[in-house]
Amino acid sequence: MVTNQSQHISQQFEKELQDIRSQVLAMGGLVEQQVQNAMEALVNGDADLARSVISGDDEINKLEVSIDEDCIQIIAKRQPTASDLRLVTGILKTITDLERIGDESVRIARMALNLSEKDRPKKNYRELSNLGNHVRGMLRDALDAFARFDVDTALRTAREDREVDAEYESILRQLITYMMEDPRAVTRVLDMMWSARSLERIGDHAHNVCEHVIYLVEGKDVRHLSVEKMEKVIKGEQD
């Protein structure tokens, strides 16, 4: 009787954890769509799409609050230990980064509104579009690593953050040069710089999600470490 009851409670707990994981992935899907729509709005000068990104942020915020409350309820009722506790705390950290990616998407959408009213450059924001595709790929892979508890994918994705940083710095140099050559374009270039900055920050948050995956799978805190040091920590080679 006691064994059956314990098994029933365990099954309920497992279902609750699975439900929360599903909610996180749903939130991740919405956030990824927000990034895509914000970039399409910017590149295509689509003011209506930009406004939909701005208004869509409420749904992401509500999801964060809902998942947060569910996690707190699990901690209070179930008092999880070991890997289950790591999963709950990892989820809490992950949804914070996802919400902030949503915020950066809104910032890009606001810049897209500004840029939609200005003359478009000959390259039609090609560099920003390339950077946007890169960070979207990082976000997609980070969410895939979370869905499958895949440390190898998390490490590979985290490594890409350096490439994103290099692309971002290259774009800044180009934009500063362009601004110096044509002072009339200062306002537009500043909006482009802020958009590039938001994309770089999205890459940072995707990197953070990868760190959370490593923590919840391996139980090792790899925040603030280089990817090389992350690999050593995971292999137990830490000095």
Q: What is the pLDDT of residues 33-75, one digit of tens each?
A: 999 999 999 999 999 999 999 999 999 999 999 999 999 999 9
Is residue 124's pLDDT more than 70?
A: no
Is residue 238's pLDDT more than 60?
A: no
| Homologous superfamily in CATH for domain 2-234 | Phosphate transport system protein phou homolog 2; domain 2 (1.20.58.220)
Q: What is the pLDDT of residue 121?
A: 67
CA distance 138 to 198: 14
Q: What is the pLDDT of residue 6?
A: 55
CA distance 14 to 7: 10
Phi, psi at 221, each rounded to 5°: -85, 110
Is residue 107's pLDDT more than 60?
A: yes
CA distance 26 to 24: 5
Q: What is the pLDDT of residue 1?
A: 41
Q: Average of pLDDT values for 187-212?
A: 96
Q: pTM here?
A: 0.91
Q: What is the pLDDT of residue 27?
A: 98
Model confidence at 89, pLDDT cuts 50, 70, 90, reads: very high
Residue type at position 81: T
Q: Domain ranges in the chain?
A: 2-234
CA distance 156 to 220: 17
Q: Average of pLDDT values for 180-203?
A: 93
In this structure, which long-range contacts are made by residues 138-142, counting pairs with CB atoms below 8 Å and at least 24 apart in sequence? 138/164, 138/202, 138/203, 138/206, 138/207, 139/28, 139/31, 139/32, 139/35, 139/101, 139/202, 139/205, 139/206, 139/209, 140/32, 141/206, 142/206, 142/207, 142/209, 142/210, 142/213
Residues 164-176: b if buried by 16+ CB within 10 A, e if exposed: beebbeebeeebe
- Of 60, 96, 120, 102, the C-alpha closest to 198 is 102
Asked if residue 111 lies in contact with residue 219, where contact means CB atoms within 8 angstroms, the answer is no
| The residue to which tokens 């710089």 are assigned | 193
Model confidence at 231, pLDDT cuts 50, 70, 90, reads: confident
Q: Average of pLDDT values for 1-14?
A: 63
pLDDT: is 10 or 90 the higher one? 90
